[in-house]
Amino acid sequence: MKILVTVKRAVDYTVRVRPLTDGSGVDIANAKMSMNPFDEIALEQAVQFKEAGLADEIVAVSIGDSGSQDVLRSALAFGADRALLIQTDSVLEPVAVSRILAKIATDEAPHLVLMGKQAIDDDASQTPQMLAARMGWAQGTFACGLSMGEGEVSVIREVDGGTQTLALTLPAVVSVDLRLNEPRYLKLPDIMKAKRKPLEVQTVEELGVDVSTKTRITHFAEPPEREPGVRVQSVSELIDRLVNEAKVL
């Protein structure tokens, strides 16, 4: 079985991102960048399937600028067999990303595509579902449990109020949630070994996919700041202030 895993280079989760003062963008020129945390979970799952003998090839794909080679090297260190960068300097809408991924999924013909349920930069949570729709495949979103069956994958999904279990016909797209697994720490020998694994780079233009959309962000603003708070000394003072000052009790 062949697994395709998508990885996105995003601002590290510890960075508090602010808009540029003129509202034309976000101030991330010098921010620490990392693999989107949800994508690490997707990769970990793929590697676990391979270690269990359920998968024989893992292909990692990223779409982004040349810096995305870093996250693909990490993906190779995790245990992906080869990597593919579709290079672009533009920030793409999920629908455009899904067009690219559909082309790759058609060429690579994986049995399973594992993806993070959202990227922590645009917080869109769209691309896996869009890819599944384009391919005419089943989708299992927000997965917290996965098991392979004969020609199908069983997915436990986090839904409002609890969990739901679905059996998806393969090929399928699964988007993973936080509680699926805990990604491993990369070891130095694996990082060294990853340097020798194949990483292919293609531009969006070479791929021949139209990435234009009729949607654009026109302004980036800071949300309203909270007024400075008050330190209360006791429970009775807290209750008194909630009743008489904040008037919420």
* CB 132 to another protein: min, Å: 7
Q: Which is nearer to another protein, 73 or 99 (by Cβ)? A: 99
Q: How far apart are CA 119 and CA 31, in angstroms?
A: 16
Q: Which is nearer to another protein, 86 or 130 (by Cβ)? A: 130
Among 239, 228, 203, 249, CA closest to 65? 203
* CB 44 to another protein: min, Å: 15
Q: Which is nearer to another protein, 196 or 236 (by Cβ)? A: 236
* CB 228 to another protein: min, Å: 9
* CB 195 to another protein: min, Å: 32
Residue 128: CB atoms within 10 A of its CB come to: 28
Beta-bridge partner residues of 155: 146, 166
Q: How far apart are CA 146 and CA 161, in angstroms?
A: 19
Q: Which is nearer to another protein, 80 or 101 (by Cβ)? A: 101
Q: Which is nearer to another protein, 36 or 62 (by Cβ)? A: 36
147, 52 Cβ separation under 8 angstroms: no
Q: How far apart are CA 68 and CA 87, in angstroms?
A: 8
* CB 139 to another protein: min, Å: 6
Q: How far apart are CA 38 and CA 158, in angstroms?
A: 14
**In angstroms, what CA-CA distances link 5 with 21, 62, 152?**
36, 9, 18
* CB 27 to another protein: min, Å: 9
112 phi and psi, to 5 degrees?
Answer: -145, 135
Q: Classify 60 in phi/psi space as left (phi over 0), alpha (psi -120 to 50) or beta.
A: beta
Q: Which is nearer to another protein, 82 or 179 (by Cβ)? A: 179
